[in-house]
Amino acid sequence: MMLSSVVGPIALGTHRRKSYISLNLESEALPPLPEIKSADLRKQIFTHRSVHARPTAIFEDSPDDPSPDNEALEHLGDSVLNMVVTSLLQEVYPYLRVGPSTKIRSLVVGNYTLATITRVYRLNDRIRSHPAQEIALRASSNIQADVFEAYVGGLFKDRGLEVVKAWLHPLFRPYIVEAYRVVRIEHGLSPDPEPQPPRLRAGDSPSSAPSRLSPSIGHLSLFNQYLQQKNMVVEWVYTDSAGEGTKTTPIWIVRAMVDEQCFGRGRGNTKKAAKNEAAKEGLRKMGVYVPQPSNPQTV
């Protein structure tokens, strides 16, 4: 089951003065955790350096006595994870510039996200550490994130990049989509871009392009019109927005539910503005193109 079909609303917050995103995860909704076939790698992935207390100032291990902890796998997994997420980000949003792309990736692969996923998979329960530090290390978000990266590194060494991608793509796609919306807001843009008309190919006539709808019609009213034509009923479900906005400028978060399916989500300073954003997404889901108003020409 794809994670995006069952996750709850996203939250944006700060953790140690850094932004983070959070999805309401359920263990049965996650992509299955790929098996590490090598017993040695499985053991190494979950072995914290406190178990063997190797000196940290050594430049290089002996070939006959490599370090048994997970730091090398964590280092490898960090690089693999960044590469896979960057590639997926370019696949989902191929025209995104490098600056916003870097911000989105930072949200997606941040320690808060990785630690949350680790806990849902219960990987933290398998951490091996010095008995005196076991409780504290298993509860540490940084250590939990490190274990996830070590698992990615171990899986890459054990079964290759394609297996890693088959696991991480469905896992992180919902995070990429929501982080994209968050970073757009940070840039002073609406959460979702206005749909653009498809470019005409050579030999196409203007009449073959989709008909444009009047930009003067609001997304909300147009959305309601289309639903009425199809004998569909929409239910507007408002989500808790605690911690967002202020008393004088609240933030409303709403979902447009049609036949128990979410057709769109929106947020705004008023209920109508939030519903309009959700309606915009709903129109796209129904294949309706609404162009941006063009600037009036000077005569």
Res 37: pLDDT: 95
22 has which bridge partners? 11
Point out the least confidently predicted range of 9-18, 67-76, 286-295: 9-18
Four-point Cα dihedral 123, 126, 131, 132, nearest 10: 0
Burial (0-12, 13-18, 19+ Cβ within 10 Å), 256? buried
pLDDT band with cut points at 50, 70 and 90 for residue 221: confident
Q: Which of 165-202 are b and which e, b meaning 16 or more Cβ less than 10 Å from the residue's Cβ? A: bebbbbbbbbbbebbbbbbbeeeeeebbeeeeeeeeee
In the block, tokens 């005409």 appear at: 200
pTM: 0.60
How does the average pLDDT of the chain come out, rounded? 78
Cα dihedral across residues 11, 14, 18, 24: positive or negative: negative
Architecture of domain 39-54+67-187: Orthogonal Bundle (1.10)
Domain range list for the chain:
39-54+67-187, 219-286
Mean pLDDT within 171-185: 90
Q: Residue 10 half-sphere exposure, CB side, CA atoms within 13 Å?
A: 22
Burial (0-12, 13-18, 19+ Cβ within 10 Å), 206? exposed
Res 109: pLDDT: 95
Burial (0-12, 13-18, 19+ Cβ within 10 Å), 34? middle
**pLDDT digit string, tens, across residues 109-123:** 999 999 999 999 999
Mean pLDDT within 102-109: 95
Does domain 219-286 sit in CATH 3.30.160.20?
yes
Residue 295 has pLDDT above 60, yes or no: no
pLDDT band with cut points at 50, 70 and 90 for residue 215: very low
Residue 16 has pLDDT above 90, yes or no: no
Res 202: pLDDT: 55
Tell me which of 194 and 114 has the higher pLDDT: 114
pLDDT band with cut points at 50, 70 and 90 for residue 211: very low
Contacts of 287 (CB under 8 A, 6+ apart): none
